[in-house]
Amino acid sequence: MTRVARINGLDVTITGGPIKVARMEQEWYEDLENPDGMMKELAGEGVDIFTFWQRYPDVAPKYSHYREEDDIAVLPISTYEEWWTKQISSRTRGAIRKSAKQGLVVKEAEYTDEFVRGMTSIFNETPMRQGRPFWHYGKDFETVKRQFSKYLFRETLIGAYWEDELIGFMMIGLAGPYAVTGQIISKIGHRDKGTNNSLIAKAVEVCAERKIPYLIYLRWTKGSLTEFKRRNGFEKVAMPRYYVPLTATGRIALRVGLHKGVVNLLPETTVSRLKHFRTKAYRAAYSLKYGSARLADGDA
């Protein structure tokens, strides 16, 4: 079971299981100024491994602890014109132009009840996304309003509207030297609108106006989402991530490669097959519960 502990003024997430791994809960937004002091406190919490990283753009390793590369998706921003003419693909430009011609309106938004109702409608469109159960599906208005209001103090909201209906939105978290995509999602039923491309375009415009030099779209992985990031100008950047064993169990886990979980030890082809099997299993179970037609539209 995962728990959160307040240590040295920072929230730290500690995973359960045979190997307890701790990391800063808000590592995208907070710098760790004293890793050694944090390790000392975590040792008393029964943590086996503590992992932390340096936040972008601090890319040069500065600690002697064992480290690995953690790839993130970074979009350098100078001006909107630079992004539009030199950083994105012609396919992306075409999709954004098409969206505008179709009447899609993308603009900064306020966290009103109307906006939250639109969010709730998007969340409840389909129970599956990207081949997995969608974690926000089934949430009611009050739950969505409460959960997404927590970090509004550091977020800018962007809404995509089709005939006054909110069909997509993006939350940009302001994290000091960069902005980070906290949430970006749109309705599957309006996939022909190229909504997410237009949301990224507006985010770039906002960052350029506010002199924010980088927009980060979380991690650089594999698959269609990463290709979407590439077409929108994001680049892969390797950040130093450190893994520090605090117990004998932690040292053994690090030595055999269990510090990132058992899946990390499997061949890539095996992991791909397992994911495919998982998707088929979810679809079979959810088809019985919700109907296959709904999943056919939402499994994307």
105: domain CATH number?
3.40.630.30
Same domain (yes/no): 114, 85:
yes
Task: Based on the fold, state whether residues 130 and 48 are members of the same structural domain.
Answer: no
Are residues 78 and 217 located together in one domain of the fold?
yes
Beta bridge partners of 238: 71
Q: Are residues 197 and 148 in the same domain?
A: yes
55 and 90 together in one domain: no
pLDDT at 292: 64
Print the domain residue range for 16: 3-67+241-265
The model's pTM is: 0.91
119 shares its domain with 153: yes
Domain count, the chain: 2
Separation CA 28–CA 55 (nearest Å):
7
DSSP class of residue 83 equals I
Nearest to 242 by CA among 38, 17, 46, 44: 38
Q: Are 50 and 167 within one domain?
A: no
Determine contact, residues 65/49, Cβ cutoff 8 Å.
Answer: no
Same structural domain for residues 144 and 251?
A: no
pLDDT of 300: 39
pLDDT (0 to 100) of residue 36: 92
Distances in whole angstroms, Cα of residue 29 to Cα of each of 58, 77, 244: 13, 19, 21
What was the pLDDT predicted at 140?
A: 97
Of 61, 63, 15, the residue nearest 42 (C-alpha): 15
Whether residue 233 lies inside any domain: the answer is yes
* pLDDT averages per 10-residue partition of the chain, 300 residues: 90 91 96 92 92 96 96 98 96 95 97 98 92 91 97 97 97 96 93 94 98 97 91 97 96 93 77 77 73 56
